[in-house]
Structures are given as structure tokens and as C-alpha cells.
Amino acid sequence: MNPTQERAIEKLLEKVEKPARYTGGEMNTQVRPWDEAELHFAFCFADTYEIGMSYLGMKILVSLINSLPYMSCERVFMPWVDFRAGLKAEHLPLFSLESRKALSEFDVIGFSLQYEMSYTNILDMLDLGGVPVRAADRGEDAPIVFAGGPCACNPEPLAAFFDAFQIGDGEEMMVEFLDTLRECRRQGLNKNDTLLRLSQIEGVYVPRFYQPEYNDDGTLSAFRRTDERAPETVRRRILKDFSNAFYPDTFPVPYTDIVFDRIVLEIMRGCTRGCRFCQAGMIYRPVRERSMERIIALAEQLEKATGYEEMSLSSLSSGDYSCLKELIVALMDRFQDKRVSVSLPSMRVDNLVKQSLEELSRVRKSGLTVAVEAGTQRLRDVINKGVTEEDVIRSVSDAFDSGYSTVKLYFMTGLPTETDEDLRGIGDLARKVVAAYYAVPKERRAKGLRVTCSASVFVPKPFTPFQWAAQDTIETVMEKQGRLREYLKTKGVTFNWHDSELSFLEACISRGDRRIGEVIYTAWQDGCMLDGWSEHFKYDTWLKAFEKCGLDPAFYANRERSYDELLPWAFIDMGVTQRYLQLENERAKQAKTTRDCRKGCNGCGLQRYEGLCNV
Amino acid sequence: MKMWLIMEKGARIRFIGHLDLMRTMQRALRRSGLPVRYSNGFNPHMLLNAAAPLSLGMPGLREVIEVPVGGDIAPEAFQERLNEALPPDLRCRAVRALPDEHPAPMAMLRAAQYLIELDGDDPGAAVCMSALPGMLAVDVLPAVRKTKTGEKPCDVRPMIYSAEILGPRTICATLALCEAGTLKPDLFLTVLARRAGVEKPGAFITRMQLYAMQDGALTRLEEA
Ligand code: SF4
């Protein structure tokens, strides 16, 4: 930025809400001086600072990239509307927090894909940063723009905007990616050759080397390579030695409040439960644990480096960590004098040990969260959610008994095979939870019972057994939510539900093909962005965008696919095989459960990789 | 024993609010492992005591924050260790050891010195600069102060200790800052602009120094 621009930024900062979002300088965020790095990486998060800074994957990767001696990695977030308007009015580019460089000045731009409804933000950020939004419009000198993260498992909706995708665990792939890029730069390779080299790295997908073809009914007829040197199947990258893989020994400490302002220790990756709706549970297989010694060592380093007073153990299902109790006790002993509390965010009800609850409440009493997902045992069997009513009641009773009075129950509506009985079941369960509270003697229970039932709308996701399923139409969803509201009219119970229109679009995009990219582009051109923020969500504009592109959203969201349909993400080998997903879908139809694969392998496909699953 | 930390809050972090800044200080003190004393009671916390919060958007060069300490430690060592634990835009410029009986910085604070840099491209800036001597020559300067209970008419002249012209667009003003009466640099500028008959110009304001009153004269708070 030149001095005039700097002054304009300072003026702008005085006028906007939460200016500290844009000023950086937080503890542990100092990077190499701009001129001392060979390659400059802009790590972009397509949502606001507070959300992005709470996201663990970003902390891991930014730290990893900065640990490479030739790299410098800076952060860029989606500006809030006021700042964005100011940037536009003053003709200022979107810039990085560390060195205030325009996005266009970077060599590599990496986006983390967390949520489909932030895709318009990606286009907006590129555009604000002075980078042509479409990959095809970016010349030889433009930055390489790529993406990774969970939503990259169906990259097709974004294929037009990205030069490459990283699919799977990033820790090793990122290093190979950047090493290769640097090598290509040194050799003076052009963009196409560079991308071809990158496509040889396991987990990397370069959309320009592939071309989809369609049938008259709109389904895919073929997905062909345009360059035979690119791999036919893109294999998801899987980290073998998770325990010793890179993990930051320092965390940035924001000045202002962010969503999760604490040390996060990822104790495990993957999940063995096999819930059939859960994409994370399928795409992060197999389960890999970090050793207790490593976790404790990291905890000590991070506590020293940050001064945080809270640390949380994170994974898809932390309760399954094999020596959880020992770990919690060890951490508590070590940090009690320092007044550091330890918490488990994603506690599962079915293995919630009363004792560890007591351990936790020694330091901090917050609410208990139980993901029940469905209202009847039958439907829970359909989705393979291994939680029974007894489990729920037992753990909320334990919680009430140990002094908790706030319980959150999470449900989903619109799951395959759902009937009215399943919806009524949600109401029944909520009432039983209330009864469990009153069953605890008055002297022992905490005052102010609050049971919150949240119902999200089921969104079928790629690489799950329900990837073929139809989502309920918006009308059906709203009608069901109305019924549920009736069933949940009980004192002490509050009911929250998700926006059905947002979930509908999420369903369109998450299982979208390459043509959806045009819809995203059109919606953005017509003013859609920050869609995840209800005050900015413009459903009608989205619908018009579909119309303009000649596409029917119901084709993507509400249509059941047959097994022989070529799915847009079928060229990716996620580890779990399509055959296994089919099998699981069939079992779901019969409400047959599948065991937790810690108890024995179910042959999901990961067994093809030697030494990955230790069952 | 307690320490007075003479802190610089850099321009980059001028938008960090007072509470966030205090939390940052607490975390830095935790990281440093310095022998800071905590409050007694169920939920022990650090007893940081700032002379006066900085307004949002204003850097401060010699802010005073008091912290009680338990062990025996030299001020120089304290400063060094604290600086190692602080982010680069928040610096500890000096540390002074004091007995617990010494009054709190807030109780001694009377005034602050501000560097007011008017925007060069603001047409009102030059007019304001030439109106300054005339404003200082009068005995009464009526203004309206916004307080929690509403707007109050007041005379701000006695709250201006001095105001000097340091450059073509730069004023250095020492203004009252204490419970008995505070004149914010922003209001100072409003009054000046009104006398000059122009819109209040944009300005970048830095708090340079804090003052106490000793023997009838302003003395640097950090030395008082
Ligand atoms: S291969 Fe077997 S053990 Fe490994 S993740 Fe799949 S089901 Fe579980």
C-alpha cells in the first residue's frame, strides 16, 4: 500500500464496526518480512475474522506454512459489509492483516472451504483483492488460487474459480504442494505445466484437466480427462502418522473476542461410529489418535506461548479417545495451579462417564450438549446413531445431578424415512429430559432448567450413505417444523430451528456439478454474499440465479439419484468406497445398524491402505 | 510491593478497546511467569489498575498501569521479561517499583498531553491552526459536554493547561483528565473549530504523557 492508501485505510477504520478485525498484530502472528520470503501465501477464510480465527485448520496450516523457510503466510478474511463498502468507495484492494498487501500481490492464494454458503464470499474476496474471479481469466502472472478443507470433497461447484484443490489431510500435502510450486517457479515453468506437476501430488485435483459431459436429463454422462497425464482418479490424501504430524506449538492470541478463544488440542482425527448422515465421519476415516505424551507436551507449549486459561480437547468424538480419563486427569493435574480449565466440546452422550463430568465441573460449569439427531429408536437406527433414549436420560440425569441445569438437544428433520411418529418422538424425549431434571432432589439440582431443542434441516452430503437421497422440499420442511413446534410446547423447553431456504441452497451446492458454479457466479454478481448471515441472505436472488442459468434447484436438492448415476464427485477416491456407501444406504432402508468399527472392521474401503486401520 | 508499568500502545492496535487491552496485559503477565499477585476469593484475578482508559482509535506513548507483585524482582528485569511476552505493538517502556501505600495512578492523574495532527487535506485545518492563539487568549470558553446524564454546558478554558503549535498542522495540548473534570481532545477540537468557523477537521490524536499535580505544578505521573 502506498502512503495515500494507508491513510485512506486508517480513515476507513475509524468509521467501521469492529475495526480490530482488520488490523492484525496479535500475539504470535508475526511473519517473515515481505522481502525475505521467496513465495508469499495468502491464507483466506471466506468469513469474518472472529469465525476464521476460531477455526483450528487455519491455525495448523498457517503455522505450518510459516515454518517453511522460504514461505511467508499471511491471513485474509472476508470484510464485513461496512468495511467492504469502504474499500470499494476508496478503490482500496482487500489486503492481508500482516503486511497489508493486496491479494493480487501474493504468489499463492489458498482458501479453506468450510461451508457451501460461504462460496459467494470467495468470489467477492478475490474480486476485492484485485484477482480475476475465474481461473480462465487469470494470466500467467496471476496468483495460483486453490482450496482445501472438508467441502473440497466435492470441488466441482467451484471448479471454474480455482486452479487446484487439495483433498484430504493438509499437513504433508501442503508442503509437497508448495515445494513443487517453488521448484516450478525456479524452473520457469508456465502455469499449465506447473498445474500439471501439482496434479501429480496425491490429493491434488486440477479441474482444468477434466471435462464433464451431460445427458439430456441433466445428469452426468461422462467425466473425461483432457490431459492423460493427470490422474484418472484423484485419491484423497491421508496422513498416516497423525500422532507425530505437524501441530503448532504456538497459537495466535487475538486481542478481541473470537468464537473459540482458547487452546484447542486436536486429540484425534476421524471417527469410527459411522453415523450415516455425517460427512466428516466418512471423509476423515480412519480414526487416528494423537498420543497422550504428545498432547500433554503440546498443551504445555501452547499454554506457555499463549497465556490462555482454557483448553479444549477436540475431535469428531472426543469421548472415544482411548485414554480420555487419564488424559483429562493428567491435564488437570498439570494445569490446576495455573488455573487453566479443560473442556470437551463434542461430548457424546453414550460414553459420557459420570466421573469425567465431575472432573470437568471442578473447573467450569457450562451446559451439556447432546446430539440425539432423531426422535425414535427406529430412525436413530436408520441413521446409525448409536444413542438410545436410556443413554440420553442417563447422561442428562448425571449432568443435572452434578449441578448442570442447561441442556441442549440437537435433532435433524427430514432424515430419510422420517414419519410423524419420529417428530412426536422428539417432543416425548424433551419431556422426559424435563422429568429427569425434576427427579433430582431439589437441594441437589441447580436452579433454572433450560432445555433447548435445536432442529436442523437434513442436507444430504457427498460421500455419505445418503448421498443419493432427496432432501425434503422447503414446503415439507416448514410444515414439519410447524408440527414440531406443537410437539415441543412444554414448560422449560425452547425450540430453535434452521432456515429451510438456506439448507435448501446448501443441498443444491453441496451435491452440485460444475454448472452450479455459474449459479454461484450469477448470484454473487447480483449481490449475494455473506449468505450465512441471515440479515444478508437473499433467497430470491439465488432462485433467480438458477433461473438465469437454466438450472432447476430441485434437480440438485430434491431428487433421489439412482445407484448407476454418475455422481459429480465420483472421480475422487475418498477412501470409503462407493460400494460400501451403497451397502450402508441399503442397511439404512432396513433400519439395520452397523457396528462401531473399533469393535471390528466393516470393510469400508480404508482397509485397502496397509497399516492405516489398526483393527 | 507494586509496579507501575509505563506502557506504549502502538498505532497499529489503537482500535483495541480498554477491556481487551487489559486482558492482553493479563495474558502477557501470565506468559511471562512474573510474580504478579492475584486477588483473594473464589475467582482470583489479576489486579491491574490503569491510570485512564484510552479512547478507541488513540495510541498512547506513556500509559501507566499498576500491578501488585509478590516476589522480589528488579524493575529492569520485570520490564525485560514482560516485553518478551508482549505483542510487538504493545511495549513496556519503563517499570517503577513502589510501596503498596503509594496512591493508585488513577487517583493521582490530573492531566494528559496530546499530540493532535490535523488532516492535511482538510480545508478547515489551516483555519483552525490560525484560530488557536485567539482561543487561548480568552478567559471563558463555553462548550457543551456530553455526560452520562445528558448534555451539560461548561467552561472548558480552565481545563486547557497549554496548547502549542508544533508544526503547520500539529498541536500539542495539555488538557485536564481527572474526576473533577476532563476535557477530551475531541471536544477541544470541536471548540476550536467552532471558533474558527469551520467544520471540525479530521485528526490523528496520540496521548503522549500523563500528569499528576505536585506542589501546584504538573509533574509527569510516571515520576510522581
Ligand atoms: S476399514 Fe474397517 S476399521 Fe478401517 S475405517 Fe473402515 S470400517 Fe473402520
Query: Given B20, B28, B88, which is nearest A30 (Cβ)?
Result: B88
Q: Is pLDDT of A352 > 50?
A: no
A613 lines ligand 1 (CB under 6 A): yes
Q: Which three cell numbers stand for residue A411?
A: 435433532
Mean pLDDT of B32-38: 91
Mean pLDDT of A513-524: 98
Provide the ipTM: 0.91
Give, using CA atoms, the residue closest to atom 7 of ligand 1: A602
Residue A366's pLDDT is 59
Residue B80's pLDDT is 97
Domain range list for chain A: 3-217, 263-498+576-599
Q: Is pLDDT of A355 > 70?
A: no
Are the beta carbons of A25 and B21 separated by less than 8 Å?
Answer: no
Query: Given B15, B28, B31, which is nearest A20 (Cβ)?
Result: B15
Encode pLDDT of A226-275 as tens digits.
999 999 999 999 999 999 999 999 999 999 988 888 999 999 999 999 99
A487 phi/psi in degrees, rounded to 5: -65, -20
A606 lines ligand 1 (CB under 6 A): yes
Residue A402's pLDDT is 81
List residues bridging with A75 in a β-sheet. A43
Encode pLDDT of A103-147 as tens digits.
999 999 999 999 999 999 999 999 999 999 999 999 999 999 999
pLDDT classification of A348: cutoffs 50, 70, 90:
very low
Cα of B33 to ligand 1 centre, how many Å? 46
Mean pLDDT of chain B: 94
Tell me the chain B residues in contact with residue A306 when contact means C-beta distances shorter than 8 Å: 27, 31
Query: Given A19, A304, A308, which is nearest B15 (Cβ)?
Result: A19
Considering only alpha carbons, which residue of chain B is nearest residue A18? Answer: B15
Mean pLDDT of A273-291: 95
Residue A365's pLDDT is 52
B202 touches chain A (CB under 8 A): yes
Residue A364's pLDDT is 47
Are the beta carbons of B30 and A255 separated by less than 8 Å?
Answer: no
CB pairs A-B closer than 8 Å: 57
Mean pLDDT of B100-126: 94
Question: What is the full DSSP assignment across chain B?
Answer: -EEEEEEEE-GGGTTS-HHHHHHHHHHHHHHHT--B-B--SSS--B--EESSPPPTT--EEEEEEEEEB-S---HHHHHHHHHHHS-TTEEEEEEEEE-TTSPPHHHHEEEEEEEEEE-TT-THHHHHHHHHHHHHH-S--EEEEEETTEEEEEE-GGGEEEEEEEETTEEEEEEEEETTEE--HHHHHHHHHHHHTSPPPPEEEEEEEEEEEETTEEEEGGG-
A615 lines ligand 1 (CB under 6 A): yes
Residue A596's pLDDT is 94
Domains of chain B, each with CATH number or no CATH:
2-102 (3.30.70.580), 108-223 (3.30.70)
User: Which among A597, A599, A612 is the best mutation to test ligand 1's pocket, defined by most ligand atoms within 8 Å of the CB?
Assistant: A597
Q: Per CB distance under 8 Å, which residues of A are interface residues toward B?
A: 10-11, 13-14, 19-20, 23-28, 30, 253, 255-257, 304-309, 338-339
A597 lines ligand 1 (CB under 6 A): yes
pLDDT classification of A170: cutoffs 50, 70, 90:
very high
Are the beta carbons of B13 and A253 separated by less than 8 Å?
Answer: no
Closest CA to A520 of A536, A533, A506, A534: A506
Query: Given A27, A304, A338, which is nearest B87 (Cβ)?
Result: A27
Residue A247's pLDDT is 97
Mean pLDDT of A561-567: 97
Are the beta carbons of A10 and B28 separated by less than 8 Å?
Answer: no
Mean pLDDT of A331-353: 70
pLDDT classification of A318: cutoffs 50, 70, 90:
confident
Using an 8 Å Cβ cutoff, are B1 and B97 in contact?
A: yes
User: Which of A4, A5, A27, A96 is the best mutation test for B, with the most CBs of B within 10 A?
Assistant: A27
Give, using CA atoms, the residue closest to atom 3 of ligand 1: A601
B85 touches chain A (CB under 8 A): yes
* CATH 3.30.70.270 corresponds to the domain A263-498+576-599: no
